Homo-oligomer: A and B are copies of this chain.
Amino acid sequence: MSTHLLLINPNTSPEVTADVAESARRVVSPGTVVTAVNPEHGPAVIDGAYDKALATYGLVEEMQRAEREEDYDAYVIACFGDPGLDAAKELTDKPVVGIAEAAIMVSAFLGARFSIVSTLPRAQERLRRLAELNGAGARLASVRTTDLGVLAFHEDPEGTLDVLEAAGAEAIREDGAEVLVLGCAGMTGLAGRLSERLGVPVVDPVEAASRVAESLVALRYSTSKANTYQAPTEKVYR
């Protein structure tokens, strides 16, 4: 019996949705089917808290539609910032995996310290807090940001690979990073080549999360309904 994953890209750029689907399909087991969607409305890219707020709204709508109309085995939230992750866990008892939490966890198996390589400088503090929230504050060597936007990776993979290589090399040399984590869903697909250039493991968060989600299904684990992630209580929605 095949496993069916739904990747929800919370931004509204279909090219990113296509990219994350391709990445997921590259790493899952033969029997696993991957579907990827994005909300109709919301920001084309998510690079701040305002965008995250809007995108979360679209994401929960997609979650609700999926729960109502389909029968997915697990969900992946495909934005490095894990927007709406807690809300999504309330809406289902299937496993839900954020790509940031997955990538940060996976990095722990590969080396003693890691750096996140991401987009704009304004994300630095948020990514530090995200690492802290996921219990990785002591392992975080640094957050290295570039000046590239989310879509740059899709539009110019070669150029951005060079930029990522430069940022990653600094993280290794100056900050003591032993593993790199790509801090943006839009960077998906570049980890293998970046790893070859830099000589350290590079975690692609979309790939890592897809494989984690598939594994949670295989392990027959569900989202606990014991307390924090109970279904929303009955109330009026206006």
Interface residues in chain A, defined as those with a beta carbon under 8 Å from any beta carbon in chain B: 12, 27-31, 40-45, 47-54, 56-57, 59-60, 84, 86-87, 89-91, 95-97, 101-102, 105-106, 108-113, 120-122, 124-126, 129, 132-139, 149, 172, 176-179, 192, 199-201, 203-204, 207-208, 211-212, 214-216, 218-230, 232-233, 235-238
Contact = CB atoms under 8 A, between A and B. Distances in A.
- Number of copies of this protein chain within its complex: 6
Contact of A51 (B57, B211, B223, B232): B232
Contacts of A121: 227
7 contacts: A43-B236, A47-B235, A106-B221, A113-B228, A178-B228, A178-B229, A211-B215
A192 B220 contact: yes
A89 to B, nearest CB: 7
B90 A50 contact: yes
